[in-house]
Amino acid sequence: MQSERTKKLPFDSFSEECGVFGIHSPETYNIASTAYYGLFALQHRGQESCGIAVGNGKKIEYYKNMGLVPEVFSAERISSLPDGNIAIGHVRYSTTGASKLCNAQPIYFIGKCGKMALAHNGNLINAKELRNELIKENAVFQTSIDSEVMASLINKYSDESIVDGVLEACKQFKGSYSFVLMGQGKLIAVRDPYGIRPLCFGTIGDKYVVASETCALDGVGAKFVRDIEPGEVLVFDGSGIEFYRIDKTVEKKAHCIFEYVYFARPDSEIDGVSVYESRKESGKILARKYPVEADMVAGVPDSAVVAARGYSEVSGIPYGEALTKNRYVGRTFIQPEQGMRENSVKIKLNALRSNVCGKRIVLIDDSIVRGTTSKKIVQMLKEAGAKEVHLRISSPITKHPCYFGIDTNDYSQLVGAFRTEEEIREFIGCESLHYLTIDELCQTVHRDKNDFCLGCFNGEYPYIVENEKEKEDKHVLDD
Ligand code: SF4
């Protein structure tokens, strides 16, 4: 169980929001090892807990725990899981429900259709209402996460067939969900009708593999087939694939554009767009739109490094490293004592004095949430001798919270909610600051703007979020 001293460090950035992996094989083998490598490739999406469930037609066994994939799964642990023909896996960053073991996934349950396990990426905005209705109908819950509500509702409607249960339950889910479910000898993969979170599938010979991102397909040697479409339900059962659609009319797609800016790995392709290329393009646009005289361009590691290279390419200003990152900091960490907490950014990032001293730096970052980290980074660079720091952000000002799987659900957490670019610059203390506009961000993905959720920039969400307006108004009044 998580103690007070092992809470999340107050790192000021968006946080990854879970990754899922599933595999179906016609033959039984040590399938947990494939799931392990799939999850390892998705580690960037969640570092709090992880788990793997394996099924062999008779039973499902699972193991999950707090920590990174290699911490939780030793070679002995993987080989202690039975051979099987289906496996699902999950890496978690908590957005609903506390970061503790009982909320780790996959969720295992025994329902009307026997043994099942579910792993989910996303966030249901109507989980509370659904949970209360299910409780009135005598359902019991062991966790505080929306994914258990999903499992319970699927079970409610799974009289004979788990697929019927999924199709019926999905009509009632509101929010983002990409999930994998195993039961009745099937692997089922589902993406919500707006396609908010990514999900794709591929093959390794006659095996089918499902993953949040293509980098996990690459990680297990699978050949990418395609992205799972918004509202699509794929059932892998040994005799091939069955395709279903969630019976719900949704007029547009709403892929989370932040997947390209920050969440996804640069070597992934999501919905036909290379994450690397979109990041590079964002840096190029920043260089064209917001040039400045400087000696070096640097990116805040890791997610802004590619954009910084794009800026350097167009501006002709040499690329260099201004910051070094401690790569061994997980999402949970011993909470520093008060005095040190002020310095918590330094646990993760430090200035490269020899590279920055005496230089005018263009620093590229992907986003600014509270602004406190950006302020500390600028201070750090100046203390290391940087003459000027010009900050360029490869996304628009984050003005609104996200309710779809990212842990910024409050206006008070956002420095940009009610401030202008100039006011944010003053707060951060850099020489100049510029963000991409929404249109410029959409140019980086070369797709119709209407295919994306841009809610955290323009407040227009795929679903009506209850009391959203009141939350915004309240914050204006509180200010
Ligand atoms: S509100 Fe922002 S972070 Fe959340 S799903 Fe939409 S684009 Fe993504």
- Cα distances from 402 to residues 14, 94, 309, 378, in angstroms, run 10, 14, 28, 26
Q: Which atom of ligand 1 approaches the CA of 454 most closely?
A: 7
What's the whole-number mean pLDDT along residues 312-337? Answer: 78
Examine residue 64 and state whether it is found in any structural domain, yes or no. Answer: yes
- Cα distances from 88 to residues 51, 188, 211, 371, 444, in angstroms, run 8, 10, 10, 37, 33
For 188, half-sphere exposure in the C-beta direction (CA atoms, 13 angstrom radius) is: 26
Whole-number percent of the chain with pLDDT over 70:
89
What's the whole-number mean pLDDT along residues 405-431? Answer: 89
Q: Which atom of ligand 1 approaches the CA of 176 most closely?
A: 5
pLDDT at 291: 98
Domain match, 245 and 275 both: no
Extract the tokens encoding 286: 């920043």
Question: Which of 278-287, 388-397, 400-409 is predicted least confidently?
Answer: 400-409
Residues 6+ apart with CB under 8 A from 9: 329, 331, 333, 335, 336, 344, 347, 348
Question: At which of 223, 251, 279 does a domain end?
Answer: 251
Q: How far does the centroid of ligand 1 lie from the alpha carbon of residue 264, in Å? A: 13
Q: Which atom of ligand 1 approaches the CA of 259 most closely?
A: 8
Strands 432-435 and 388-393: parallel
Domain match, 297 and 194 both: no
pLDDT at 327: 74
Examine residue 264 and state whether it is found in any structural domain, yes or no. Answer: no
pLDDT at 125: 93
Domain match, 224 and 310 both: no
Q: DSSP string spanning 303-364?
A: TTHHHHHHHHHHH-PPB---EEE-TT--SB-PPPPHHHHTTHHHHHEEE-HHHHTT-EEEEE
Domain match, 155 and 292 both: no
What's the whole-number mean pLDDT along residues 35-46? Answer: 96
Residues 6+ apart with CB under 8 A from 274: none
For atom 4 of ligand 1, which residue has the closest CA?
402
Domain match, 60 and 170 both: yes
Question: At which of 216, 251, 286 does a domain end?
Answer: 251
What's the whole-number mean pLDDT along residues 208-212? Answer: 98
- Which has the higher per-residue pLDDT, 470 or 1? 470
**Longest alpha-carbon distance in the chain:** 71
Domain match, 15 and 84 both: yes
Choice from 402, 408, 436, 451 to test ligand 1 binding pocket (greatest atom count within 8 A of CB): 402
Q: How far does the centroid of ligand 1 lie from the alpha carbon of residue 475, in Å? A: 20
Q: Over 50: is that where the pLDDT of 11 sits? A: no
- Taking only Cα atoms into account, the Rg of the chain, rounded to an integer number of angstroms, comes to 22
Domain match, 175 and 222 both: yes
Strands 200-204 and 223-227: antiparallel
pLDDT at 98: 62
Domain match, 199 and 158 both: yes
What's the whole-number mean pLDDT along residues 263-276? Answer: 97
Choice from 406, 409, 442, 461 to test ligand 1 binding pocket (greatest atom count within 8 A of CB): 406
Question: Crossing angle, helix 275-289 and helix 305-315, to 10 degrees?
Answer: 40
Domain match, 325 and 446 both: yes
Examine residue 105 and state whether it is found in any structural domain, yes or no. Answer: yes
Strands of the 360-365 sheet, one edge to the other: 296-299, 360-365, 388-393, 432-435
SS (HEC) of 379-413 = HHHHHCCCCEEEEEECCCCCCCCCCCCCCCCCHHH
Tens digits of residue pLDDT in 95-108: 555 667 888 999 99
Rounded Cα distance, 325 and 347, in Å: 9
Q: Over 60: is that where the pLDDT of 154 sits? A: yes
pLDDT at 8: 41
Rounded Cα distance, 323 and 475, in Å: 34
CATH of residue 462: 3.40.50.2020
Q: Over 60: is that where the pLDDT of 9 sits? A: no
Choice from 45, 178, 255, 258 to test ligand 1 binding pocket (greatest atom count within 8 A of CB): 258
Q: Which residues are catalytic?
A: 18
Strands 114-124 and 175-183: antiparallel
Q: Over 50: is that where the pLDDT of 331 sits? A: no
CA nearest neighbour of 68 among 32, 96, 104: 104
Work out the pLDDT band at 6, boundaries 50, 70, 90: very low
Give 200's strand partners: 211, 227
Domain match, 459 and 376 both: yes
What's the whole-number mean pLDDT along residues 177-199? Answer: 97
Looking at residue 326, its amino acid is N
Question: At which of 224, 251, 278 does a domain end?
Answer: 251
pLDDT at 12: 55
For 365, half-sphere exposure in the C-beta direction (CA atoms, 13 angstrom radius) is: 25
DSSP designation for 9: P
Domain span at residue 381? 270-478
- Which has the higher per-residue pLDDT, 408 or 312? 312
Whole-number percent of the chain with pLDDT over 90:
77
Domain match, 239 and 287 both: no
Rounded Cα distance, 455 and 457, in Å: 5
Q: Which residues line ligand 1 (CB under 6 A)?
A: 196, 256-258, 402, 404, 406, 453-456
Q: How far does the centroid of ligand 1 lie from the alpha carbon of residue 231, in Å? A: 18
Q: How far does the centroid of ligand 1 lie from the alpha carbon of residue 115, in Å? A: 34
DSSP designation for 234: E
Examine residue 259 and state whether it is found in any structural domain, yes or no. Answer: no
Q: Over 70: is that where the pLDDT of 393 sits? A: yes
Examine residue 439 and state whether it is found in any structural domain, yes or no. Answer: yes
Tens digits of residue pLDDT in 432-443: 999 999 999 999
DSSP designation for 73: -
- Cα distances from 250 to residues 126, 171, 172, 396, in angstroms, run 17, 11, 13, 26
Residues 6+ apart with CB under 8 A from 327: none
Q: Which atom of ligand 1 approaches the CA of 14 most closely?
A: 3
- Cα distances from 269 to residues 18, 100, 203, 212, 249, in angstroms, run 17, 31, 16, 11, 27
Q: Over 70: is that where the pLDDT of 175 sits? A: yes
Question: Crossing angle, helix 372-383 and helix 421-428, to 10 degrees?
Answer: 50
Q: How far does the centroid of ligand 1 lie from the alpha carbon of residue 122, in Å? A: 11
CATH of residue 89: 3.60.20.10
Extract the tokens encoding 289: 């739109």
What's the whole-number mean pLDDT along residues 383-411? Answer: 91
Residues 6+ apart with CB under 8 A from 430: 363, 374, 378, 389, 390, 391
| Residue in the structure block whose two tokens are 């003459």 | 387
Average pLDDT, the chain: 90
What does the angle CA 394 – CA 478 – CA 463 come to, to the nearest 5 degrees? 55
pLDDT at 10: 42
Examine residue 206 and state whether it is found in any structural domain, yes or no. Answer: yes
Examine residue 256 and state whether it is found in any structural domain, yes or no. Answer: no
Q: Which atom of ligand 1 approaches the CA of 398 most closely?
A: 2
Phi, psi of 460 (to 5 degrees): -100, 110
Q: How far does the centroid of ligand 1 lie from the alpha carbon of residue 456, in Å? A: 5
| Residue in the structure block whose two tokens are 């994998």 | 180
Examine residue 334 and state whether it is found in any structural domain, yes or no. Answer: yes
Q: How many domains does the chain have?
A: 2
Domain match, 181 and 234 both: yes
